[in-house]
Amino acid sequence: MAGDIRFDGRVAIVTGAGGGLGRRYALDLAARGARVVVNDLGGARDGTGASSAMAEAVVEEIRAAGGEAIAHGTSVTDEAGVADMVARARAEWGGVHILINNAGILRDKTFAKMEIADFRAVLDVHLMGSVICTKAVWDMMREQAYGRILMTTSSTGLYGNFGQANYGAAKLGLVGLMKTLALEGAKFNVRVNTIAPLAATRMTEDLMPPAFLERMGPETVAPAALYLVSEEAPTNMVLNAGGGGFQAAHVTLTKGIHVKPQDMTPETIAARIADIRDRSGEVVPETGAAQAQMALSGG
Ligand code: NAI
């Protein structure tokens, strides 16, 4: 058995931590010694409205349990607000070691009925919100040679779900963001991972059957999130968690085929599509450049 995972001396920002998963992450990090910035805009599920009450209530819970926390009510989409949040954490506690990009909204509709404004709003909060928060701590993490950043994707981003085109696009965007940041952060001991949660929260209360939800409280996801921001965290990992299940998701590449110039025709593709799809011997390339190398060399 490995020793206890602790966060003593670490400062963590958890976005969207006024309720649901973020609240659980904040409470658990604080219980294991972290000082936590509890961020939440405090709006409705679709991102309208704002109130600092949710974040403050979680800070009270942490303090009542003997932990240290401060609330910050900025929207993750507000660059100046996020800069202020990071500056406050630094002034209060000297730095930021952990960032959990968790804030999110839903505007579900079939693509046929979806307004572009609903698409933009969802991309803005999930994807640009995570970019803005990550950018605000990035230089500091590089300078202090320590950083643990967690993105939040979804089964919708990884595999698709009806009525969530905007959400899926934003959520898989976060995996792409992680993949490059994991490479760029590596030599500075900045590790970047992604969690794909499944939990009963206000986001899912009417999307999943009650029998499912009972077995899937946020406490079934938090252990994976804490591991992914711990000292011994991996980097570039997508970890699905919820209801007792923990799985790794990968973007794989089949061995495929390699043909001569005269065979580079749509007819060749049609004739050999089964070979191209054949999953025996598939791999997970370390980088996009590695994939390009494999394509050129024929495996
Ligand atoms: P939730 O709705 O309880 O939590 C999201 C929190 O983000 C809310 O407290 C909300 O006020 C806050 N928030 C929204 N917009 C914000 C903004 N612009 N700035 C700051 N805070 C903002 O939902 P839940 O389920 O806890 O979601 C947490 C994350 O997990 C989200 O990114 C969600 O997409 C993701 N997720 C959740 C799944 C689930 O099964 N619950 C499944 C897959 C992904």
Q: Whose CA is nearest to atom 2 of ligand 1?
A: 203
Q: Which of 74-78, 145-149, 173-177, 293-297 has the lowest mean pLDDT?
A: 293-297
Q: Does the pLDDT of residue 247 top 60, yes or no?
A: yes
* Ligand 1 atom nearest to CA at 155: 43
Q: Whose CA is nearest to atom 34 of ligand 1?
A: 104
Q: Is the CB of 130 under 6 A from ligand 1?
A: no
Per-residue model confidence (pLDDT) at position 261: 97
C-alpha of residue 103 to centroid of ligand 1, in Å: 4
What are the CA-CA distances from residue 21 to residues 10, 79, 129 (Å)? 20, 23, 17
Among left, alpha and beta (phi > 0; psi -120 to 50; other), residue 298 is left
Q: Whose CA is nearest to atom 18 of ligand 1?
A: 75
* Ligand 1 atom nearest to CA at 156: 43
Q: Cα(282)–Cα(257) distance, rounded to whole angstroms?
A: 12
Q: Whose CA is nearest to atom 11 of ligand 1?
A: 42
**pLDDT band at residue 51 using 50, 70 and 90 as cut-offs:** confident
Rounded mean pLDDT, 117-121: 98
Contact 39, 50 (CB under 8 A): no
Q: Is the CB of 103 under 6 A from ligand 1?
A: yes
- Whose tokens are 């050129």? That residue is 296
Rounded mean pLDDT, 224-247: 98
Q: Which of 45-54, 166-175, 282-291 has the lowest mean pLDDT?
A: 45-54
Per-residue model confidence (pLDDT) at position 166: 98
Contact partners, residue 180, CB within 8 Å, separation at least 6 = none
Q: Is the CB of 159 under 6 A from ligand 1?
A: no
Q: Is the CB of 166 under 6 A from ligand 1?
A: no
* Ligand 1 atom nearest to CA at 242: 40
- 10-28 pLDDT, tens digit per residue, is 999 999 999 999 999 999 9
232: three-class secondary structure by DSSP: coil
* Ligand 1 atom nearest to CA at 22: 26
Rounded mean pLDDT, 97-121: 98
Q: Are strands 98-100 and 68-72 parallel, antiparallel or unpaired?
A: unpaired
Which structure tokens are listed for 116? 């572009």
Per-residue model confidence (pLDDT) at position 52: 87
C-alpha of residue 213 to centroid of ligand 1, in Å: 16
Q: Cα(38)–Cα(18) distance, rounded to whole angstroms?
A: 7
Name the DSSP letter for residue 253. B
Q: Where are the alpha helices (DSSP H) in the chain?
A: 20-31, 53-64, 79-93, 116-123, 129-144, 155-159, 165-185, 210-213, 222-228, 266-277, 288-297
Average pLDDT, the chain: 96
Ordered domains of the chain (ranges, CATH)? 11-249 (3.40.50.720), 261-297 (no CATH)
- 200-221 pLDDT, tens digit per residue, is 988 888 888 888 888 999 999 9
- Let me know if 167 is a catalytic residue: yes
Q: Whose CA is nearest to atom 17 of ligand 1?
A: 75
Catalytic residue, from 25, 146, 167, 227: name it.
Answer: 167
Rounded mean pLDDT, 285-290: 93
